[in-house]
């Protein structure tokens, strides 16, 4: 008799299929983990560490591969902050970012909280892939 399957990962599996990525164990688990806990900004290392903590067996190379593939497929968005500091953002809708320099932390800004208008046209032969707004914050004390 066919048992009802575990539905825990159905969403992740579907998302991967739709993105044209094979729903391998590692990718499914990582995507599921990424999507747990709302919108987040994680480094590759953060994700690898989280995965390890909950007992997933995934190599660091695979974490990098998966994050890059997810980003390319539009399942994630990458925000690069400084040489050697980059975060993957699970919020893929249009929005912007505050960056707290001291804390090295990102925070989403809803897209309607900033208006970017009168964009110059994309130069000939190109099209806009993305408009990125980062507001860098420093502690107020002088």
Q: Is the dihedral of CA 58, 61, 65, 67 positive or negative?
A: positive
For the chain, the maximum distance between any two Cα atoms, rounded to a whole number of angstroms, is 70
Cβ distance to a second copy smaller for residue 6 or 118: 118
> Distance between the two ends of the chain, CA-based, in angstroms?
70
Among 19, 35, 64, 109, binds DNA (CB under 7 A): 64
Helix pair 25-35, 60-73: axis angle to 10 deg: 70
Closer residue to a second copy in complex, CB, 4/117: 117
Give CA–CA dist 35/28, Å, rounded: 11
- Does residue 22 interact with DNA by CB under 7 A? yes
CB nearer DNA, residue 45 or residue 94 = 45
Output the six-digit token pair for 95: 């929005």
Q: By CB under 8 A, name the one of 11, 36, 80, 92 that touches a second copy.
A: 80
Interacting residue with DNA among 1, 61, 113, 128 (CB under 7 A): 61
H/E element, 61: helix 60-73
Among 13, 62, 73, 98, binds a second copy (CB under 8 A): 98
Residue 26's binding partner among DNA, a second copy, none (Cβ under 5 to 8 angstroms by kind) is DNA
User: In whole angstroms, what separates CA 107 from the centre of its chain?
Assistant: 13
Task: List interacting residues with a second copy (CB under 8 A).
Answer: 80-84, 86, 98, 100-101, 107, 109, 113-120, 122-123, 125-140
Task: List interacting residues with DNA (CB under 7 A).
Answer: 21-27, 43-45, 57-62, 64-66, 68, 83-86
């Amino acid at each position: 008799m066919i048992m009802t399957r575990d539905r825990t990962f159905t969403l992740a599996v579907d998302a991967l299929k739709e993105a044209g990525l094979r729903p391998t164990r590692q990718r499914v688990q990582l995507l599921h983990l990424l999507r747990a806990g709302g919108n987040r900004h994680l480094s590759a290392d953060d994700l690898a560490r989280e995965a390890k903590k909950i007992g997933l067996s995934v190599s660091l190379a695979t974490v990098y591969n998966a994050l890059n593939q997810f980003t390319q497929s539009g399942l994630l968005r990458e925000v690069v902050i400084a040489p050697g500091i980059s975060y993957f953002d699970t919020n893929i809708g249009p929005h912007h970012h505050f960056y707290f320099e001291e804390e090295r932390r990102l925070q989403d800004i809803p897209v309607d909280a900033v208006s970017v208008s009168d964009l110059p046209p994309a130069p000939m032969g190109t099209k806009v892939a993305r408009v990125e707004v980062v507001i860098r914050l420093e502690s107020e004390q002088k």
